[in-house]
Amino acid sequence: MVAGGSGRRFGDQKQFSLLGGRPVLEWAVAACRPCSAGVVLVLPAGADDPDRHGADATVAGGPTRADSVRCGLAVVPDSATVIVVHDAARPLASPALFDAVIDAVTRGEADGAVPGVTPSDTIKVVDGAGNVTGTVDRATLVAVQTPQAFRAGVLRRAHEQAGPDATDDAVLVESLGGRVRVVPGDPRNLKITAADDLGAAERLLAAREG
């Protein structure tokens, strides 16, 4: 569970913001629980927070997302065969989504599995001046979410050989030639990026629990 971000776009460390009376990251940890043998929570480096927030272990993260994931991997037992990486900024991920990515790895030949949703907007390609140079077929595109599941050995090897920071762990696995499968994502699996997203998450949570 990656919760090491500084929250520059949000204006604060969003993972500690309250959602339904609980910190955002606690909802994300709770979402992992039914599908996981254990949860490692990666907190911001230097965070003065002795609370595990429901996780089995906590560890300080690094300056980039990939660095933070590597800090978490160092705590995951070597006996683990499948490792799931999830962002604390997605507190509303459903157990079904975790099951889907895990099943795609354990029951198939994929090295990793990620949830994806088809963009609802038309996607344009533009040049540096803002001129449209093409239109992309939405049928070939997915917006990728977390949780993402991987064969443990493949994920560890991908991070050992990683270069610059990556936007998600699937990019690193793909760079090794690994096979990553996309499973249906969930539009309600909101990523909290800006302050307004917290209000949207409150409404989604109220609808889910109502």
> What integer is the mean pLDDT of 2-27?
77
CA angle 95, 90, 62 (to 5 degrees): 120
* Whether the predicted pLDDT of 99 surpasses 60: yes
What is the band of 6 on the pLDDT scale with cuts at 50, 70, 90? low
Instruction: Give mean pLDDT, residues 1-21.
Output: 74
| Helix, strand, coil fractions of the chain, as percent rounded to 5 | 35, 20, 45
> Is the pLDDT score of 96 beyond 50?
yes
Q: Among the ranges 83-87, 120-124, 201-205, which has the highest mean pLDDT value?
A: 83-87
Q: How confident is the prediction for the chain on average, in pLDDT?
A: 90
Question: Is 97:199 a contact under the CB 8 Å cutoff?
Answer: no
Instruction: Using alpha carbons, select from 89, 68, 59 the residue that is nearest to residue 200.
Output: 89
Beta bridge partners of 123: 136
- Which pTM value belongs to this model? 0.90
Quote the pLDDT of residue 11: 47
- Where do the structural domains in the chain lie, given as residue ranges? 14-115+143-209
Give pLDDT tens digits for 150-190. 999 999 999 998 766 788 899 999 999 999 999 999 999 99
The answer to whether 41 and 58 are in contact (CB under 8 A) is: yes
The pLDDT score that the predictor gives to residue 131 is 97
Per CATH, which fold does 14-115+143-209 belong to?
Spore Coat Polysaccharide Biosynthesis Protein SpsA; Chain A (3.90.550)
Q: For 31-62, what is each residue's pLDDT tens digit? A: 999 999 999 999 988 765 667 889 999 999 98
Note the pLDDT of residue 117: 96
Helix (H) or strand (E) holding 68: helix 65-73
Residue 20 has pLDDT above 80, yes or no: yes
pLDDT of residue 8: 53
